[in-house]
Structure formats: structure tokens, C-alpha cells
Amino acid sequence: MKQIDTTELVYLRSLSKQFPTIASAATEIINQQAILNLPKGTEHFLTDIHGEAEQFNHVLKNGSGSVRRKIDEEFGNTLSIKDKKSLATLIYYPAEKLDIVLQEEENIEDWYKITLHRLVQMTKRVASKYTRSKVRKSLPVDFAYIIEEMITEKEEVQDKEAYYNEIINTIIRIDRAPDFIKALSNLIQRLVVDHLHIVGDIYDRGKGPHEIMDTLSNYHSVDIQWGNHDVVWMGAASGQAACICNCIRIAARYGNLDTIEEGYGINLIPLATFALETYRNVNCDAFNIRYSRDYNMKDLDLDMMMHKAISILQFKLEGQVIKRCPEFGMENRLLLDKINPEKKTVTIDGVEYPMNDCDFPTIDYKDPYKLTAEEEIVVERLQHAFRHSDKLQKHVRFLFSKGGLYKIHNSNLLFHGCVPMDENGNFKKVMVFGNEYQGKELYDVLENYARKGYYSKNKQEKQKGQDIMWYIWTGPNSPVYGKDKMTTFENYFLEDAEPKKETKNAYYRLYNKVEIVNKILKEFGLNEETSHIINGHVPVELKKGERPIKCGGKLLVIDGGFSKAYQSKTGIAGYTLVANSHGMYLVAHEPFESKEAAIRNESDIFSDFINVEIAMKRLNVADTDQGVEIKESIRQLESLLRAYEEGILVEKGV
């Protein structure tokens, strides 16, 4: 045995407390070696959810078609398409589907028998790629023993069919069938996907981001790559005033102020009162509301006033950040001081444009970025409300604990947006508080400052971090925004289309080139031959012939328009990605009507599978990042075993 150094000996002594004997260490080596040979778990990738909670929950429940694939694998042609659809819908929505069945089914006992047998078969199928220990940890407490009995093959039982039938008959006789069906359905959902990746933009536009965050907070295994719409909410939760205004403005624009008031318990009465007093007789036509069918029209006038009030506050506060942080290079976004109120024009990049609205009662053109006394009070109250929303703070802490600006996982680089580049394919050098950063270093420093903006006790560092969060949201060299400017002002006040143009970073014009994608993969320490980039943020416009697979499959864009606001532009309702032991495939989704329609009509929403990569041999856990960790653990356990055998360490409790 090679000489054990002091550091390794300290570690082995610590490990020996967990495995105090040769037998326990050997057993663990055998267990972990066996795990390496199990099939790789299924990974599910979603991005750009934008508050669409119902569609998100449906895609999560069906695993982007993974549940239906398992049904096809298990039952083949022995079940009709209709029966397969019914079984899938039951697995997605067991409680709701049971309510319908109980009203419509004439012979409920026979239905229970057939359904329970099918669900047990499905549970066996989805549990087969996991260790018994992992499955046991996933079992619902109330039915753990019964489910384990049902899905475990019992060699010692001669008449197996009679044995399992008797268990099912007893479940039905004592009226536990509905609860058992729910438990099995939820377990199938749990086991069909091993790990979930959210590649950014949970927030804004749709009305249910808080519901999505509740779901993610309880999900068994998840990571999150922050999108710019997530970071602006993280900044708002830290108290950054410009971020707060952006969050409220977008909610107002899409008729979703209830998300803030009811979803997060944030009091908007100070803003509403201010808007009524200040903007009641002011032209607010440019601040129309893009409301949905269930929007309460009686709120329209007030919402438009609040929309204008918060937008003007946003432009003022953003101007203050730009002046405070000249290294952001965003002076061209200082537009309030470029307004000529007499001519009703604004000068942008040297060109004078007519404005459709110059009715701004709170702007003093001698000092246009200064808040009025009343605005100061509104901002202070909003900051207090955002900082003290328990639910928002819980959700943002979850984003910080489970997320980052990028992730490297199983040879895939996940990020939302782009790696900022110039037209020659060089990584852009970006100034951040006196130092230049590019490529991976830029991501790392921005993420570090974002964390300081929320957690730091140092007032100056916290201020810098908060301003960085606003920059990540909208800055011209922000990796997760990826455009030269955000033309919010122009979209509200100008009719001319030219100044509204937002130019994407050169990354989006270069990412079909192999040398560019390889350069990025190398920058992040990945193998250029076997790795992929998985990218969110920019909708894939299928109507214009765009495709989500770029650079021969090395780069995948999986935002195809999950948000209803994008669907008329994209022609579909989003792409998701699934990576399992057989390879990787994209799923193109149809627009989602409603949860009720999905249950009543037994309709699913995935429409098309696109193979990205088919594995030459089935991938095992040994081929994953988890496999690397297990192999290292086995190496350490084998060192412990040798230390026992050589007498360097003494077994305990033998």
C-alpha cells in the first residue's frame, strides 16, 4: 500500500466513523459499484416559463412526454390509444380525474382493479432504473409498505397473481383505492424525471410566478440558471428601487398587479393613492394594459395611472443608477434630460423624434432625475414592502441557493442569454467596478456581486451588488440580457420604429459556427467534442423558419415561446429538452388551453419529438457527473479498506 499522507489519514479517520468496519466499507463499495451500472436518470430542461403556471405544471407532470413514452413502452399495443390517454391524464391529475370517473363510471370496482394493476405496472417500470433504497425514500409515507410490496418481485410466492390480486382487492374493500391511486400517480410523476433544470425566466408576463416558485421549492431535485427577469425580482427583493419599479411596471402592463399584491402580499396602496392624486387628469393613453380574459375592467383606469406613475419613477431611478455607475456605459439611456417639452420631442443618438406623450407632472426639467417628495415616500414604502414580503424573500433565497448565472452538468453548459462577444468572435471585455472581465470570469464576477447585493452587510458592497443586479437585467453587456439596449422608453413614447430596435449581441450571429461554440465550451472547461450548450432567453421563431438546433446539435435553444405573449410570434408554445439514458430529444409544444380542458378532453400538449443525439450504447450513471463522484467515493472507501487491512486504522465495534 502506498504511503498515506497526513491529510488523507485525517479524512480516512473521519470516514471510518461512518464505516467503522471492513464489512460496512466493503458493503458500501459493492452498493456504489452497482449504482454505477444503473441507467442514467432522466433530466428535464425548461426555460422562459414567464409566469405561465398552468402550462408549466402540466409540462412538469408529463415530463415533456416522458410519462406517455413510459406508458407506450410498458403496454405497447395491449392498450388502445384512448386507454393510454386516460391513464396518462389520471397520472397527471389523479384527484381531478377521479372526481370525473366517480361520477361517470357504472362499475367502479372493476375500474379500480384495472386501473390499480396498470398503475402498479407503470410504477415498476419507472422505478426499475433506481436502487431500491432511492425508491424507498420517494415512497409516500402512508402507503410505503404496500407500494414496496406491490412493486417488489417475490420469488418465494408461488401464486404471485393471487397474492397481488388479494392486496388490490383489500385496498378496494377498505375504501383506500382513491388515495392509493393518487399516491401511485404522484410517485410515477416523481420517478419519471430524476432531475429538473430551469434555464431562466420564471418571472414576468404571466400571472403565476409565485405558484411556480412554490412548486419548484418542493421539487425533489432542481437547479436554476437565472434569467434577467429572475434577477430583476432578486434585485427588487434586496430593495433595489429601479428593479422594484421594473417588476411593478411589467406586472401593470400585463394586468398582473394581483401577482404582487395577493401572490406576494406587497401593499401597492401607496402607489395607487399617489397615482390617483397625481395622474387622475393626465393623459395615460400610452400606458394601456395588455389584459387577459379574466382581467377586471373596473381596474383599468387606475391600473393605467399606476402604470404611468411607476414607469416615470423607473426612468428617474434608472437615470440615477447610470449616473452613479458610469462604468456601465449606459449614458445613451439617459433620455429624460433629452426631452424638449415645448416641442414634445426627444433627442436620441443625435436624432430628434416626436413624442406621443409629454404630460409628466412630476418631472422638473432642470433636474429631471430627481424624485419629488411624494415619489420619495412611495419608493420608501415599496422598498419596505418588497424587503418584508416573507414569501418573496423565501423564493429569492431559494433562487440564490439553487441557482447561478450558469451551470455545468453532465457535459452540458447551461445559461440564459449569451456569452458577450464582438463581431470577430472575441469575448467582450466588460468593465465592472474598475476591472475588466470577459467570458467565464464575467459570469463569475457578476454572480458574486449579485450575491453581495442580497446578502452583504457592508453597505457599499451591497449597493454595488444591487446596482449590478439592475445591470444584469438590462445592461448592454449583460450575459443574460444580450442586447445593446432595452428600449422601454421608446416603446412607450415614440411611433417611429427605428429607435425601438434592440440589436442582439454578436453571439447570436455567430453561434452556428463550430469554432465559436467550441471556444465557449473550452472557456468553461468542457470537452469540445462531447459537450453541448443549452440556451434560453430568445424565442425561436418557427414561423420564420428558425430551428432550435444550432451548430449541428452542439447548441440547443429551448425557448420557443412558453409565454402566451410570444406565441403569435413563434407559432408554438415552447420547446423543452429531455436527456435520458438513450440520448437527448427536443419536444415542441402546442398552445395549452387550460388544466380543465386537459382533464376533461384527456388532451396532452407535446406535439413533436426531435432527436438531438442518440446514444451509441445506453448511458449509465457511470457516464454522468454523479458517476464521477461515486467513483471518487469508491476510491476513498477502498483506501479505507486497505487502511483497515494494513492495520493503519482499527475497526470499531467488531
- Give residue 295's pLDDT: 78
* Pair 505, 423: CB distance under 8 Å: no
Give 608's pLDDT tier (boundaries 50, 70, 90): confident
Q: Give the amino acid at 349.
A: D
Mean pLDDT of the chain: 92
- Spatial neighbors of 43 by CB under 8 A, at least 6 apart, are 193, 194, 195, 196, 197, 409, 410, 578, 579, 580
Phi, psi of 558 (to 5 degrees): -110, 20
Q: Which three-class secondary structure string do you get for 405-457?
A: CEEEECCEEEEECCCCECCCCCECCEEECCEEECHHHHHHHHHHHHHHHHHCC
Domain count, the chain: 2
In a domain, 119, yes or no: no
Q: In the listed set 488, 515, 539, which residue is the last one of a domain according to the structure?
A: 488
CA-based end-to-end distance of the chain: 23
Phi and psi angles of residue 8, each rounded to the nearest 5 degrees, phi first = -70, -35
Q: Contact, 501 vs 494, CB < 8 A?
A: no
**What per-residue confidence (pLDDT) applies to 273?**
98
CA 162/CA 160 separation, integer angstroms: 5
Ranges 2-11, 79-88, 429-438, 456-465: which has the least confidence: 2-11
Share of the chain above pLDDT 70, in %: 95
Give the pLDDT of residue 299. 86
Domain-located, residue 337? yes
Residue 329 placed within a domain:
yes
pLDDT band at 2 (very low <50, low <70, confident <90, very high): low
With respect to residue 16, please indicate whether it lies within any of the assigned structural domains: yes
Condensed to tens digits (0 to 9), the pLDDT of residues 270-318 reads: 999 999 999 999 999 999 998 877 778 888 999 999 999 999 999 999 9
Query: How would you label 60-96 residue by residue, b for 16+ Cβ within 10 Å and e otherwise?
Result: bbbbbbbbbbbbeebbeeebeeeebbbbbbbbbbbeb
pLDDT level of residue 592 (50, 70, 90 thresholds): confident
Q: End of a domain among 488, 512, 545?
A: 488
> Three-class SS of residue 400?
helix
Give tens-digit pLDDT for 369-411: 999 999 999 999 999 999 999 999 999 999 999 999 999 999 9
126 within some domain: no
Per the structure, the complete domain to which residue 628 belongs is given by 6-38+623-645
Banded pLDDT at 543 (limits 50, 70, 90): low
Residue 567 has pLDDT above 60, yes or no: no
For 259-269, how does the pLDDT look when each residue is reduced to its tens digit (9 = 90+)? Answer: 999 999 999 99
Residue-level pLDDT at 160 = 72
Cα separation, 563 vs 443, in Å, equals: 26
The per-residue pLDDT for 439 is: 97
Residue 299 belongs to a domain = yes
Note the pLDDT tens digit of each residue in 52-90: 999 899 999 999 889 999 999 999 999 999 999 999 999
d(CA 632, CA 651): 22
Q: Is residue 613 part of a domain?
A: no
Write down the H helix ranges in 282-436: 300-324, 373-387, 390-402
Spell out the SS3 assignment of 135-146: HHHHCCHHHHHH
Q: Mean of the pLDDT values across residues 600-611?
A: 76
| Whole-angstrom Cα Rg for the chain | 28
Q: Which of 440, 468, 488 is the last residue of a domain?
A: 488
In a domain, 279, yes or no: yes
pLDDT beyond 90 at 246: yes
For residue 61, give the DSSP letter. Answer: H
